[in-house]
Structure 1
Amino acid sequence: MEKDASDPDPSRQRNGFVGVLYGEFTDMLNDRVRYSVSLTESALTIQRISSSPGRTKVVFNLTDCVGCRAYRGPDSADVGAYFTAYFYPFKRRWMSAGVTRQRVEQCFRVALVQDPLANLQEAERWAHAIRDASARQAPRRDGVAYMEVRRPCRIMILVNPQSGRGQALQLFTGHIQGMLTEASVPYTLVITEHQNHARELVRKADLSQWDALVIMSGDGLLFEVINGLMEREDWQEAIQIPLGILPGGSGNALAASVHHYSQSPPAWNEELLLSCGFMLCKGLVGPMDLVSVHLASKQRLFSFLSLAWGFVADVDIESEKYRHVGAIRFLMGTLVRLASLRVYQGRLAYLPVKEAPKLSKGSFTTNHPPSTPQHPSLCSSLPCQFIPNTSPNQSSRHGTNSNHNTRTNSSNNAITTKRPQIESDSKTRAPVDSLLPDLDQPVPETWTVVKEEDFVLVLAIYQSHLAEDLWTVPGAMADDGLIHLFYVTAGISRPALLRLFLAMEKGAHLACSCPHLVYEKVTALRLEPITPQGMITVDGEVVEYGPVQAQIHPGIARLMCG
């Protein structure tokens, strides 16, 4: 018979057990096997009941739980009911010293009485308690102010079926679909049909239908979504919708960064997808910086990842022809470009951070060449202030080429959400780039101007990773308010450049002490190419070649992370 943990039980109290629920249930497949099950605020403890000493006890941390469901069995004559909890704990990889999240389910049969309805109610009580306790035990990183999406979280998932090796949809159905079902997350699947389809969709969509937008693709589809949101008249509200990322491309830089921010062990390929799916189910949301990028044609874009010119941009775009091989395309592109290394002439200027926020232990210091003058900065980070978000309405959802899951009704239990105060232009309704002069005007005296005009590459990045296997800024955070600026000057040898990128796999490239590599933390920058031909990319997408400048807007977007 089941026992409630709130009832006095001196034996359990003497053992230090302070629980939420306690019960005894049978195995799903064998009624002769019985378990004692106890639920606390932080763990589910399972112990097989037997007469032999030394009974095995298994403890599951609720931080690793994504959901629990109660149900009747397939046999109508069975009076019992069942509840199954789904966990994704870290376990050792097969034939490897590393660890990764692996799926574990625990199922129990409840047959306390001969009344099927009473047994089902008891199973539902346990499932509800486990879900509630696991929601309070989401993994959090110290020093990050998280929010939580409403439950159940109604999400639109946009999938680019052509991304990576063309397997994004298969990866979703094979790895993520079941996890979302276990977590009771209702979703609508939208298959993108052409370039900028996602941009057009989110620009016009009724966002009150959704609690989050999730991208299953490479980084390019998220670039579309962010710019579609920023093109709306209600961009200040639109950009507050939580954005999730599931790696389905070949670069997957943001997915690798999100995984890194969760302080999880390194993961790649399907293991990275599983990690991002797990964080999506847990529903934690944190702030994310965006960078406003101005092109010579007066067009303005919003970037979440990087701005690149030279070697990095060349490899990214020229390796598209190797897309069918997956992430290794970047290594192949690197080797091809190294064989005919290019040097670009241009001018670079930036506004350095006066007092950069302290990065985590292991972050690196700046390497200044003698020719780089240093100037004080008048810039300080913009504060984030928070106001309540309104509840989404409950009207019906719609999407293009969508598969609809059933949505259950619930009260609005979203916690207070964050919105930074942003200076907005009264005409364009877009955030004001107060740090940037017009492109045809000189930069202010407070900026640093690089005298060196021959570059191999210039890379401005605002996440920790440039690709799954390129740990570019170990100390970066999604909301650190910084543009991490790297540039490599002419004169570097091919072997030295290759060593830098190989070292970047472990975040050790600045430890190489390469005199041609410079790293600065900045809040704004300007790049003016002199070489007539070349490529500039923003978030891996080719943009207009010519003068470009950018400034960071701290914390104006929201990212589903752990």
Structure 2
Amino acid sequence: MDQRRSEPDRNTGSSPVTLYGEFTVTGNRKVRCAVSLTEKDLVVQRLTSAPVGRNKVVLSLKDCVGCRAFREDDNADPAAYLSAYFYPLKRRWMSSGVARQRVEYCFRLAALQDPRANQDEAEKWARAVRERSGRQQYLRDGVLMSELSRPRRMMLLVNPQSGKGQALTLYNNHIQRMLNEASVQHTLVITERQNHARELVREADLSQWDALVIMSGDGLLYEVINGLLERADWEEAIRTPLGILPGGSGNALAASIHHYSGASPVSSEELLVSCGFLLCKGLVSRMDLVSIHLFSSPRLFSFLSLAWGFVADVDIESEKYRHVGAARFTVGTLVRLASLRVYKGKLAYLPAAKDYSNEEGMRNNMTLHCNNQASSLSLASALCRQSRDSSCQNTFHNSCHSNNSLKVRRTESTPSRSATKALPGPPDSLLLPLDQPLPSDWVVVQEEDFVLILAMYQSHLAEDLLAAPDATLDDGVIHLFYVRAGISRTALLRLFLAMEKGAHLATNCQHLVHTKVRALRLEPYSPKGIITVDGEVVEYGPVQAEVHRGLTRLITG
């Protein structure tokens, strides 16, 4: 047998090689590898008698979270070591989907007898890999996202009771290692009670931190956002980049971030690894927040949803099934379907006009210091669809136009003015006090019976519910859905099953209406009910909301 080793393949496509070296593999000094670094890839080729290319692995630097050089404790060993950490998308076992999976390559550098010289060479490689990985910029919707400073300092808040109560275990098994690989300095803070995080960030010295990261369900992020906006320096505080790691049972924002990355759907620990990877990349995007006014409570801010009726009932009533994790919502849905409720109330909204350009959003973009240029937002008006659905026995009517199925009227009142100038946070320019008539440019749905009303500002309502498929982080609109009474249990179940893949709008059910709005007002007439904001129960009664485009920042990768 010919034992001669093949020559390393220097052909890496159009990207030139900037570093080249031959090292042994850690754990087996008999195995040598040729390692090439380009602007986009780390190429590892095992030097054997096999044909060129058969033993070559190309690792994209977009998938790299970090690289470090080190020496072993054995002073008699002059070698230095180089470890690079990647999380590429790989096909899942027994599945057609893909998910991020950890890959570590560790090499031994011992070309010289001088330990310092070997260490310097390893450090040179580690710096080069990190620098080129950091230059892999991401574009989304035509806007270049800014990058967190390095080294990064993060406060990581963990709710140990969220979901199945496994958040700390998941941190220990996955996140701690990932952050260390990415050289992210972080301080772990374990929350002890409700509103602990809210109180903490309201008083914290935020100059110590480059980001605040939440590992829990969506409720803990709700606390953090409202705590930041209750500060005297809220304008600066709300610019602090926020991160989310799924550790609860809902994990809607985490699922939305994963969805925005363009990856195929995942859940559970695969979703955690995906969000951990995006967190390590440290790229920051703008995110909308929605101000919520209740009748007798202080204004609050929401990042995800406002719900009344079926969705809110399922969310809260399924708390008793929290021990089963994300499956609690499936169980809760089936239970609530068995005794479907109908709610009486009035709904009104300010439509999001075509080619809407939010001046407030543009102001926010300037003050957020993201070093990004805001691109103009163009919202195409929705087209009415007139196809039949056997389950609903009628047609779906999008509320971009009024028709017999969607009765609307125009109210006459004074022009809209700010109702919140004395409150912390940005003023609301579209809302009047709840006890005043609506402005004349609002659409009012005639008083009727509803099964649910749901306002969404992100794509996902839960890990497996793609409620607003075309939502983005900072589109400056609220995606408003409502379902009228009269829908059968079978048809409602079919809608939620279709929502798992974001196909519910294609069911063409007459009872479902979807429209994009800038503000809304809901007046419940039913004496009892549940209203939730980001999954948290709020005061039951009249409520109104306005979107603030790009008010905060989110680490999205």
* Partner residue of 2:529 out of 515, 520, 534: 534
Q: Is the Cα contact below 8 Å between 1:141 and 1:263 reproduced in 2? A: no
Equivalent-residue separation in structure 2 for 1:106 and 1:219 (angstroms): 35
CA deviation string 1:146-174 (max 9, x = no partner): 11111111000000011001111111111
CA distance in 2, matches of 1:243, 1:58: 35
Contact 2:16/2:39 (CA < 8 Å) preserved in 1? Answer: no
Percent sequence identity is 67
- 1:391 aligns with none
Q: 1:196-252: CA deviations, max 9, x gaps?
A: 000000000000000000000000000000000000000000000000000000000
Report the alpha carbon displacement of residue 95 of structure 1 after superposing the two structures with TM.
Answer: 1.7
Question: Cα offset for 1:141?
Answer: 3.1
Given that 1:26 and 1:35 are in contact with CA atoms closer than 8 Å, whether structure 2 keeps it comes out as: yes
SS in structure 1 of the partner of residue 552 of structure 2: strand
Question: 3-state DSSP class of the match of 1:519?
Answer: strand
Q: Distance in 2 between matches of 1:57 and 1:14?
A: 11
Match in the other structure for 2:291: 292
Matched residue SS, 1:466: coil
Retained in 2: the 8 A contact 1:364–1:510?
Answer: no
Residue 372 of structure 1: CA displacement? 2.7
> Pick from 30, 33, 41: which aligns with 2:31?
33
Question: Residue 269 of structure 2 aligns with which residue?
Answer: 270
- Equivalents in 1 of 2:99, 2:275: separation in Å? 12
CA distance, structure 2, for counterparts of residue 487 and residue 447 of structure 1: 17
Q: Residue 424 and residue 90 in structure 1: after superposition, are their counterparts in 2 closer, same or farther (change >3 A)?
A: farther
* Match 1:506 to one of 501, 510, 520: 501
Partner of 1:328: 327
Task: Show the counterpart of 1:367.
Answer: 398
Provide structure 2 residue ranges, at least 5 long, that are not aligned to the other structure: 1-8, 356-376, 386-396, 412-417
Secondary structure of 2:244 counterpart:
strand
Is 1:466 the counterpart of 2:461? The answer is yes
The answer to whether the 8 A contact 2:137-2:144 is kept is no
Q: Distance in 2 between matches of 1:227 and 1:352?
A: 26
Q: Distance in 1 between matches of 2:491 and 2:51?
A: 63
Which residue pairs with 1:383 in the alignment? none
Contact 2:288 2:476 in 1 (8 A): yes
Stretch deviating more after TM superposition (145-154 or 267-276): 145-154
Q: Deviations over 1:89-122 (max 9, x none)?
A: 0111112111110000111111121000110010
Which residue identity does 2:210 align to in structure 1? D
Does structure 2 conserve the Cα–Cα contact (< 8 Å) formed by 1:459 and 1:485? yes
Compare 365-374 and 105-114 and name the one that shifted more: 365-374
Opposite residue 132 of structure 1, the aligned amino acid is: E
- For residues 108-143 of structure 1, give each alpha carbon's deviation from its aligned partner in whole angstroms, at most 9, with x where no partner exists: 111121000110010011001101111111554342
User: Within 1, Cα distance between the matches of 2:525 and 2:12?
Assistant: 77
Structure 1 window deviating more from structure 2 (516-525 vs 26-35): it is 26-35
Alignment of 1:63-78 (within 5 A): 63-78=62-77
Tell whether the 8 Å contact from 1:87 to 1:104 is kept in structure 2 after alignment: yes
Is the 1:371–1:452 contact (alpha carbons within 8 Å) kept by the matching residues of 2?
no
Q: Is the 8 A contact 1:424 1:430 kept in 2?
A: no
- 1:302 corresponds to: 301
Deviation string for 1:305-352 (max 9, x for gaps)?
A: 000000000000000000001111111111111111110000100000
The answer to whether 1:184 aligns with 2:183 is yes
Deviation at 1:50, TM superposition (A): 3.0
Partner of 1:94: 93
1:74 & 1:105 partners in 2: Cα distance? 21
Corresponding residue of 2:520: 525
Q: 1:363 to 1:327 in 2, by over 3 A?
A: farther
Aligned residue number for residue 560 of structure 1: 555
Q: Distance in 1 between matches of 2:171 and 2:383?
A: 35
Task: Give the length in aligned residue pairs.
Answer: 506
The match for 2:6 is none
Deviation at 1:74, TM superposition (A): 3.4
- Shift, 1:14, TM fit: 11
SS at match of 2:174: helix
Q: Give the superposition deviation at 1:40.
A: 0.8
> Equivalents in 2 of 1:131, 1:117: separation in Å?
21
Which SS does the other structure have where 1:451 is aligned? Answer: strand
For the 8 Å contact 1:459–1:487, the answer to whether it is kept is: yes
Identify the match of residue 48 of structure 1 among 43, 46, 49.
46
Give the CA deviation at 1:12: 5.4
> In the TM superposition, what is the alpha-carbon distance from 1:436 to its structure 2 partner?
0.4
Change (3 A) 1:290 1:224: same
Cα distance in 1, alignment partners of residues 178 and 78 from structure 2:
28
The Cα of 1:502 is off from its aligned counterpart by 0.5
Corresponding residue SS for 2:152: coil
2:391 alignment partner in structure 1: none
Asked if 2 retains the 8 angstrom alpha-carbon contact of 1:363 and 1:474, the reply is no
Comparing 492-501 and 134-143, the one that deviates more? 134-143
TM-score, length basis structure 1: 0.87
Offset at residue 33 of structure 1 (A) = 1.8
| Mapping for residues 229-268 of structure 1, pairs under 5 Å | 229-268=228-267
Deviation digits for residues 380-437 of structure 1 (CA, Å, limit 9, x no counterpart): xxxxxxxxxxxxxxxxxxxxxxxxxxxxxxxxxxxxxxxxxxx997644421111001
SS at match of 2:325: helix
Q: Counterpart of 1:103? A: 102
How many angstroms does 1:144 deviate by?
A: 3.5
> Mean Cα displacement is larger for which, 23-32 or 81-90?
23-32
Deviations 1:415-469 (A, max 9, x none): xxxxxxxx99764442111100110011111000001421000000100000000
**Residue 191 and residue 424 in structure 1: after superposition, are their counterparts in 2 closer, same or farther (change >3 A)?**
farther
Deviations 1:355-377 (A, max 9, x none): 165579x9997623624356899
Cα distance in 1 for partners of 2:277, 2:213 equals 13
User: Where does residue 205 of structure 2 map in the other structure?
Assistant: 206
Match for 1:545 among 540, 543, 546? Answer: 540
The answer to whether the Cα contact below 8 Å between 1:488 and 1:516 also exists between their aligned partners in 2 is yes
List gaps (5 residues or longer) in structure 1.
Answer: 1-10, 378-422
Distance 1:15 1:367, change over 3 A: closer
- Offset at 1:75? 2.3
